[in-house]
Every structure is written in C-alpha cells, then in structure tokens.
C-alpha cells in the first residue's frame, strides 16, 4: 500500500458517503417511486458480479508467492467455495478454508 | 433485538477479520475504525482495502467498493413503502444502519404483519441493530489490535480471498447467479493486464448483464 494517509481517508469518506447515499436513496429522496423491473434485475447480480472477479486473480496469482499459482492456496480456495455452496454458511466455509490452507502449507512445505 | 442476535455469529468473526486484514494491509487503527463506522458494509470494505493494497488508483478503489454496495439501493427501494413516511432523521438513521441482515429480517416481517404502525416498524428495524452495530464496531477494534500482533508467516494474505469465496458461495442461488459469477471471473482474468484495475469494473458490468439475461431466458423457458 503506497497511498498517503490523506488518500486513504479520502477513500474512506467517499465510500462512506456514497454508501450512505445508496442506502438513503429511495427511503430519503425518491420516496415510493418503484424501480423498473429491468433495473432490479441487474441490481440483483451486483454482489456475484463484483466479488468473483476480484477474487479470481488473488486465488490464481497470489502476491505472497510472487504471482506463481500455489497448490495450497488453490486447494484452500476450492474447499471454501465447495463448503460455502453446500452449507450456505460463511463462517463454516471460512474455517474449512483456513484449516485446509494451513494443513496444505504444512504438508506441502 | 432477539431476531438480530443470530447474526452476531457471522458479524463478530467477520468484523474481527476486517480488523486483522486492514491492519495487516497497513491501515492504522483510526483508519480501520473509520471504515467500519462510516461504511458498515463488510464486503465493500474488504474490496476497497484489497484494491488499495494492489496500489490501484484511489478512485478505482472507491468505485469498486461502491459497486459492491449498489445492492443497497435495491434494499432502500424495497423498504421505502414501509418506512418512507417518517421524519428525516429517522429515515437517515435507518439508511445509515441498512445492512444485508436488517433487510433480510425486516421486509419479510413487514410483509407478514401489515397491521404494524410505522413507529412499530421503526422500533423493530432499530431493534435488530441494537446488538449488531456495537458488536460490529467492537469486533473490528479487537481484530485491529490483534492484527498488530500477528506475524506475517501465518499466510494472512489469503484470509481475504477465503472470506470473499465464503461470502459468494451461498449467494450462488440460481443458474443466473452462477453465470454472472463465471462471467465475472473470466472477464476479470482476461482483462487483468489493463491498467488501474479497470478490468474488474468491466467484468462486473458484463456479469450483471449476463445474470439478467440468463434470468430472463430461464423465465421465458418456464413460461412456455
């Protein structure tokens, strides 16, 4: 991280304000106006549209191994995803992934 | 308040993790707490911190965080018919506290009990957060203090990808969600070499369109 403290605070303030405006939007300003179906249909997919694209490079090319794919991290990612899909429980998935990562790092050296 | 308490099981570890990850990323205590108190949206906080770590331009880090939070506008639209007719300060406070968990609790409750007065609705809304919000701040603070004591050889670099995967996995509810996620991954990897991490925003945009198209196609097939 090479940003100055001011830049980081700017990011925090902008994200905080922007998020508040998104939350306040209809409740505060636009009132009871309904969003058209096509807008809602796209908004439904924002979390699954942003996060996977953010994760993929981190999983395939971890900075900790200088961008080389790492078997222990790939395995841990696979287990987390699988357990998350099966259990629908984020905490169990995180614990399984962490356990896999540490076991694999230990076993594979 | 009681309905909100199960979420502590998720939010407390999650808040702690943000504290640890934020500290490891190089944020100081005030900055970590600034994120947690001003944004209160775990996934967006993690996303923004990750991009700052990647040395993406600040504006891209902000835009990506906001993109993760666009769903809040959808929550706001769903809640407006129930909560819209109240003093400004109440609506503003409700906006500040609007998180996934509150939305998941309140809308079904309001639908099931249409006889509730607006004051009762607000009491329920704030009640769900009475425990959750302070617990979220405290957990982050605890994590941030803890993070300063954890040495780097514990592979915490991977705490973030694991957290995101764990958040996304349960959200893969339908074929349309899966299609959107796969699109996001493919486009983001293909465009990874573009400057300023702009590939991620393009990938997210493409993925939203794919998700919406697949949903329509599936509906069409079910109807015919």
Tell me if B170 and A54 make a contact (CB, 8 A cut-off). Answer: no
The answer to the question of residue A74 being in a domain is yes
B14-70 pLDDT, tens digit each: 888 889 888 888 889 999 999 999 998 878 898 899 888 888 888 889 998 888 888
Other residues' Cβ atoms within 10 Å of the Cβ of residue B209: 15
Which B positions 92-121 lie with beta carbon below 8 A of chain A?
92, 94-96, 98
pLDDT over 80 at B224, yes or no: no
Min Cα–Cα distance to chain B from A81, Å: 6
| Distance, CA of A101 to CA of A79 (rounded, Å) | 9
Residue B125, classified by CB atoms within 10 Å of its CB into exposed (0-12), middle (13-18) or buried (19+), is buried
B100-131 pLDDT, tens digit each: 778 878 887 888 888 899 999 999 999 888 88
The answer to the question of residue A10 being in a domain is no
Min Cα–Cα distance to chain A from B159, Å: 8
What is the rounded average pLDDT of the residues B80-99?
89
What is the rounded average pLDDT of the residues B62-79?
84
Q: Chain B within 8 Å of A66 (Cβ-Cβ)?
A: no
B80-89 pLDDT, tens digit each: 888 888 888 9
Please check whether residue B141 is in contact with residue B33, taking contact to mean a CB–CB distance below 8 angstroms: yes
Look up the ipTM and state it. 0.80
The answer to the question of residue A15 being in a domain is no
Count of domains observed in chain A: 1
Min Cα–Cα distance to chain A from B115, Å: 19
The answer to the question of residue A88 being in a domain is yes
Cβ neighbors of B117 (< 8 A, separation 6 or more) are: none
Min Cα–Cα distance to chain B from A8, Å: 8
Q: Chain A within 8 Å of B184 (Cβ-Cβ)?
A: yes
How does residue B3 score in pLDDT terms, banded at 50, 70 and 90? low
How does residue A75 score in pLDDT terms, banded at 50, 70 and 90? very high
The answer to the question of residue A65 being in a domain is yes
The answer to the question of residue A4 being in a domain is no
Which B positions 27-66 lie with beta carbon below 8 A of chain A?
27-28, 31, 34-35, 38-41, 43-45, 47-48, 50, 52-53, 55, 58, 61-62, 64-66
Phi, psi of B209 (to 5 degrees): -65, -45
User: Which residue, among A92, A79, A29, A61, has the nearest Cα to B92 in the 3D structure?
Assistant: A29
Q: Chain B within 8 Å of A34 (Cβ-Cβ)?
A: yes
Please give the residue range of the domain that contains residue A67: 51-107
Tokens matching residue B83: 């909560």
| Distance, CA of A40 to CA of B17 (rounded, Å) | 31
Q: Chain B within 8 Å of A90 (Cβ-Cβ)?
A: yes
How does residue A18 score in pLDDT terms, banded at 50, 70 and 90? very high
Tell me if B47 and A50 make a contact (CB, 8 A cut-off). Answer: yes
Residue A34: the pLDDT is: 66
How does residue B141 score in pLDDT terms, banded at 50, 70 and 90? very high
Query: How many contacts does A have with B, using Cβ atoms within 8 A?
Result: 293
User: Which residue, among B44, B96, B95, B100, has the nearest Cα to B68 in the 3D structure?
Assistant: B44
Candidate from A31-40, A76-85, B72-81, B200-209 with smallest mean pLDDT: A31-40
Other residues' Cβ atoms within 10 Å of the Cβ of residue B167: 24
The answer to the question of residue A25 being in a domain is no
B152-196 pLDDT, tens digit each: 666 667 877 888 788 788 888 899 999 999 999 999 999 888 776
Tell me if B58 and A43 make a contact (CB, 8 A cut-off). Answer: no
User: Which residue, among B158, B205, B211, has the nearest Cα to B181 in the 3D structure?
Assistant: B211
Please check whether residue B191 is in contact with residue B202, taking contact to mean a CB–CB distance below 8 angstroms: yes
The answer to the question of residue A19 being in a domain is no
User: Which residue, among B27, B24, B30, B4, has the nearest Cα to B151 in the 3D structure?
Assistant: B24
Q: Which of A41, A62, A77 sits opposite B212 (nearest CB)?
A: A41
Tell me if A84 and B34 make a contact (CB, 8 A cut-off). Answer: no
Residue A30: the pLDDT is: 60
C-alpha angle B65/B36/A63, rounded to 5°? Answer: 55
């Amino acid at each position: 991280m090479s940003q100055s403290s001011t830049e980081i605070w700017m990011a925090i303030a902008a994200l905080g304000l922007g998020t508040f405006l998104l939350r306040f939007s209809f409740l505060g300003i636009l009132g009871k106006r309904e969003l058209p179906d096509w807008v809602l249909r796209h908004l439904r997919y924002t979390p699954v549209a942003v996060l996977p694209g953010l994760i993929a490079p981190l999983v395939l090319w971890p900075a900790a191994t200088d961008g080389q794919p790492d078997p222990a991290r790939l395995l841990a990612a696979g287990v987390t995803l699988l357990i998350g899909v099966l259990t629908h429980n984020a905490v169990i998935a995180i614990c399984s992934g962490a356990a896999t990562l540490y076991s694999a790092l230990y076993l594979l050296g | 308040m009681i309905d909100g308490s199960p979420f502590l099981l998720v939010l407390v570890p999650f808040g702690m993790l943000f504290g640890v990850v934020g500290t490891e990323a190089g944020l100081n205590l005030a900055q970590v707490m600034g994120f947690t108190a001003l944004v209160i949206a775990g996934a967006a906080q993690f996303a923004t911190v990750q991009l700052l770590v990647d040395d993406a331009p600040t504006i891209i880090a902000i835009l990506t965080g906001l993109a993760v939070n666009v769903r809040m506008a959808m929550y706001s639209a769903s809640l407006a018919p129930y909560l819209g007719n109240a003093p400004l300060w109440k609506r503003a406070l409700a906006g500040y506290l609007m998180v996934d968990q509150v939305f998941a609790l309140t809308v079904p409750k309001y639908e099931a009990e249409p006889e509730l007065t607006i004051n009762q609705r607000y009491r329920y809304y704030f009640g769900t957060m009475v425990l959750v919000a302070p617990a979220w701040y405290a957990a982050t603070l605890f994590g941030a203090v803890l993070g300063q004591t954890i040495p780097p050889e514990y592979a915490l670099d991977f705490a973030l990808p694991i957290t995101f995967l764990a958040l996304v996995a349960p959200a893969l509810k339908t074929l349309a969600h899966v299609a959107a996620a796969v699109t996001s991954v493919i486009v983001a990897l293909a465009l990874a070499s573009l400057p300023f991490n702009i590939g991620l925003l393009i990938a997210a945009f493409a993925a939203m369109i794919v998700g919406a198209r697949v949903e329509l196609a599936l509906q069409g097939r079910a109807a015919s």
